[in-house]
Structure formats: structure tokens, C-alpha cells
Structure 1
Amino acid sequence: MSSPLVVVALVQAKPGHETALVKAQAELVAIARVQPGCLSYELHESISEPGKVVFFERWRDRVSWERHMRSPHMDAFRANAGHLIGAFELLHLHQVA
């Protein structure tokens, strides 16, 4: 059996949109946590840089994560809040120790 897929998303809001973006991102958490294959889904905001967030996600496998990314709730997020994102980096990881 393969190890779970770990996803880390680093996101920075555009200046002036920090509160709105974090609110929209926070709304994703409860929805994502009940998606098939989601093992954990957490959102953390920087203490020193409002609007800079990190998602820590664990998925049973890549297929589960891809299904989540193609879901209606992610389409709605991108349509409603995607324009608030200033910078984005996505890491796909597997635990080695």
C-alpha cells in the first residue's frame, strides 16, 4: 500500500484582501474534511503576516486529492476568491521519516 499524499499549499493574499481570502479559505476546511479520501485538512495563518496562510493536507492517495480539486466547492472557491490570491505555491510530499 502506498503512503498518503501530503499536500502543503502556501498562499499569500493580495494586499488589502487578507481578511476576505482567509475567510473564503476557512470555509473550505469543513467541506474538504468530509471529502472521500481526506485524512486531514488544516488551515494556518501567519502570526506576523496577515493573509499568508499554509494548508496542511493529508489524502489517502493522489486520486482523492485530484477529485477534491475538481469538486464543485473548489470550482466555486476559485470563481469567488481566486482573484484574491497574490502568490501560491503547491508542494506534493510523502513522509520519509
Structure 2
Amino acid sequence: MGYGLVVRFTAKDEAAGLAFDELAATALEGIRAHEPGTLVYVNHRVPDEPRVRVFYELYADRAAFDAHEEQPHVRRFLAERGQFLESFEVTFLDEVAGKLPAGSAGQ
């Protein structure tokens, strides 16, 4: 059904978290405009953890993820995110079962 990952980011402080959100929003504009293989890309805040953000990302396949990594808006995000972060952790996901929105790849 796709290729997924979850990334947990911890910002240096709350102000850095807000700046990180702005950087992520700029990247998301490019993702929406230029990445049909990116099915889901969401930045979440974590209640009671104001410095933490969790991204959930789902791609049509590994090739779509690889293409995502090469986009200029993603390269900028990857190059600039470190100034706002204390740490991050990436978890790649293997699908067991699921449901995609109507009209998504794999339906």
C-alpha cells in the first residue's frame, strides 16, 4: 500500500518549535505542488510536550520517497532544520493492514 515513516522531532525550545513549524510549512507547499507520490505528510504537535513535533509520512512506494528526498524544498528543509532541533528519531514502517482515502494509490 505504500512506504511510510514517522519522525519525532524535539525542538531546542518553544520558540524554536514555532520556527521549525514555519520551515515545515514552507516545505509542505512544495510537497503539495510537486509530489503526487507523497500521499500523506502531516506535522503534528504533541499535547503537553510543546517542543515535540511528530511527522507522519506515507508515500506511494519507495521510489516516491526517494524522489521526495531529492526535491529542492525538501533539501532546504533538511539543511535548515538542525538549527531548531535538539534531536530527532526516524522510524520506518512496514504495512500490515490499512485504509487509504478514496482515490489514493493502492485502492
Interval containing the TM-score (normalised by the shorter chain): 0.7 to 0.9
Q: Hey, what does 2:63 align to over in structure 1? A: 63
Encode CA deviations 1:1-58: one digit per residue, 9 max, x unaligned. xx30111111111125121112212322232234131111111011211131111111
| Amino acid in structure 1 at the alignment position of 2:20 | L
> Secondary structure of 2:50's partner?
coil
Indicate the RMSD between aligned Cα atoms, in angstroms. 1.7
Consecutive unaligned residues in structure 1, runs of 5 or more: none
Residue identity (%): 31
Encode CA deviations 1:46-84: one digit per residue, 9 max, x unaligned. 121113111111101111111111211112123333321
Structure exhibiting the larger radius of gyration computed from Cα positions: 2
Q: Hey, what does 1:11 align to over in structure 2? A: 9
Bigger CA drift: 10-19 or 57-66? 10-19
Structure 1 stretches of at least 4 aligned residues deviating more than 3 Å after TM superposition:
none
> Secondary structure of 1:17's partner?
helix
Consecutive unaligned residues in structure 2, runs of 5 or more: 98-107
Bigger CA drift: 85-94 or 23-32? 23-32
Cα distance in 2, alignment partners of residues 86 and 66 from structure 1: 26
CA contact (8 A) 2:26 2:73 kept: no
Aligned residues: 95
